[in-house]
Amino acid sequence: MIKKTRLRKGLAGLVAGLIAAIALLVIALPVMMQYQQHITESYHIEEYAAILKEQKEIEEKGLASCYNPSTGIISINNTLGENVTIVLVYASDGVNEEVKYFQLGTLKITPGTNRISVSDLGINLDPREIKILKLVTSRGTIIQPPYCSKVAIVITGVALNMLLGEEQAPGGLLAATGSETFAHGLIRKIVNNTLILINGTLVPTPESTGSGYMPLAFRADLKIEDPNIDLTIERYDVGDYLLMIINTTTSYDYTQSNIGCYNTYCYTFHIRGEHAIYGLGYSFVSKYDDSDDNGPLKYTLINNGYDHIIIGVEFNNPEETGLYNGTIYVSKVKVSDASESDLIAKFYVDKTGKNINATLYVNGNIINATAFYRTYNIKDPIPSIDQFAIYVPVEDLLNVGFGDSLWIKTAITYCSSECSTDDSEWINFTYNPLKLIVNEVYRKYFGS
């Protein structure tokens, strides 16, 4: 009897121990469940941030825009295939600013080309005076349209401001006697009998001047007999890109001329007289305005090239003496500290010492850069420079590809008796190399 009692007590003790253990587990279980819920919520936060980032990158690539100050029209080409909603518009003329909020869904950018008047957005500033214009989408993408040079034509993903092919002008544009085509810059020529392909980045040269004695980068002064029209195009900026197919038996000049070119060889192409233009592709350099603050930076210049981009600056009220020190930041992601950019380009234009320099810094490597500038004087070019741009081989140096997004920022310090610094905002730029269309044209006229 005593033995049974002891056994029961022993078993009771074991059961009590187990109950205590289970009780401890029961107490800990809700804590663990709450913790698990927290982990799930935390994961969703990360997922949401990643999705938003991805959506913004897609929007940045799929929305091309520009602003025409003379008409007050913003042109937005939406290639995303779905509506994009704008929730906020910011506009400033440098002194006054306006911010307009739009209820979700009231302002949509539909697929295709959209033309929106700033007055329709409720902006009361004089459209001609608007210097900063920003549209914010519902996903947080900021669209900052540069000034339109012409409405961009997008052909199979290649953004060109102008494209003339045999589809538009069967047999080509027949330029009659008295016509002239001129181009200068980092251009290359390929010849096959009477066919000439010219392509490359253009640089103005004072060897040939256009309206207002501006140094010419490109001129097409064409007398077209049928349908009896005159067509004249003149361009004066550093960084335009030209692709041209000419068929001619007329003699022409193609000579080396390094004016406006640093650390590379540039050429001038010039033809006067009869020639047929089979194809003309042209990409204007985008100019991002920064003149509102009267600092030394007037515009940031950016354009696509064959397999590179051109990034540069235009000086505000360029001085004949002093030193312009410039920095160009290029980053694959937007960084809060510009010095953390993937690629940094530094340059100077020493107008007093008559010297220029351009250097790229990437992954610890220092590379002597190719650069271009606009000068108004052949004999004394350094003091008369007002545009300076650097050739940035982004594919080689940053491993970026077609359609990739880049963040670009420029900064200038001008020092004479005192120094003043000016920098641009971060500019989102989509890399659309022109090699696709150049190669396509080459194959068409020259075979593989």
Binding site for other proteins (CB under 8 A): 2-4, 6-7, 9-10, 13-14, 16-18, 20-21, 24-25, 28, 31-32, 35, 38-39, 42-43, 45-46, 48-49, 52-53, 56, 87-88, 90, 92, 97, 99, 101, 103-104, 132, 134, 136, 138-140, 142, 293-295, 336-338, 409, 411, 420-423, 425
Q: How far apart are CA 268 and CA 279, in angstroms?
A: 19
> Smallest distance, Å, CB 128 to other proteins?
20
What is the spatial distance between Cα 276 and Cα 268, in angstroms, rounded to a whole number?
19
Nearer of residues 36 and 321 to other proteins, judged by Cβ = 36
Cα 32 to Cα 36, 38, 293, 448, distances in angstroms: 6, 10, 57, 66
Question: How far is Cα 144 from Cα 288, in angstroms, rounded to an integer?
Answer: 9
Residue closer to other proteins (CB basis): 143 or 309: 143
> Which CB, 60 or 422, lies closer to other proteins?
422
Which pair of tokens denotes residue 382? 């350094």
From the CB of 133, what's the least distance to other proteins, in Å? Answer: 10
DSSP 237-304: -TT-EEEEEEE--S-EEEEE--TTEESS--EEEEEES-EEEEEEEEEPPEEEE-GGG-SSEEEEEEEE
Q: Identify the CA nearest to 220 among candidates 270, 286, 155, 294.
A: 270
Cα 145–chain centre separation: 11
> Whose Cβ is closer to other proteins: residue 6's or residue 354's?
6
Integer CA distances (angstroms), 315 to 154, 301, 354, in order:
30, 11, 17
Structure tokens at 196: 């000439």
CA 354 to chain CA mean position, Å: 30
Nearer to other proteins, 24 or 366 (CB): 24
Nearer to other proteins, 1 or 226 (CB): 1
Smallest distance from other proteins to CB 167, Å: 42
Q: From the CB of 50, what's the least distance to other proteins, in Å?
A: 8
Token code pair at residue 408: 């670009």
Nearer to other proteins, 134 or 346 (CB): 134
**Strand bridging mode 112-117 / 142-143:** unpaired
* Backbone phi and psi for residue 72, each to the nearest 5 degrees, phi listed first: 75, 25
Distances (CA, A) of 117 to 66, 82, 121, 383: 12, 21, 7, 41
In terms of residues, how long is the chain?
A: 448
Q: How far is the CB of 127 from other proteins (least distance, A)?
A: 18
Residue 303 Cβ, how far from other proteins at the closest point, in Å?
Answer: 23
Backbone angles phi, psi at 83, to 5 degrees: -65, 145
Minimum CB separation from other proteins for residue 152, in Å? Answer: 25
User: Rounded to whole angstroms, how far apart are CA atoms 198 and 205?
Assistant: 17
Nearest approach, Cβ of residue 338 and other proteins (Å)? 8
Decide whether 49 or 190 has the Cβ nearer to other proteins: 49
Cβ 268 to other proteins, closest distance in Å? 38
Is the Cβ of residue 27 or residue 364 nearer to other proteins in the bound state? 27
- Which two structure tokens, joined as six digits, stand for 134? 């920003």
Cα–Cα distance measured from residue 137 to residue 151, given in angstroms and rounded to the nearest whole number: 22
Closest CB to other proteins among 143 and 159? 143
Measured in whole angstroms, the distance separating CA 152 from the mean position of its chain's CA atoms is: 13
Q: How far is the CB of 329 from other proteins (least distance, A)?
A: 11
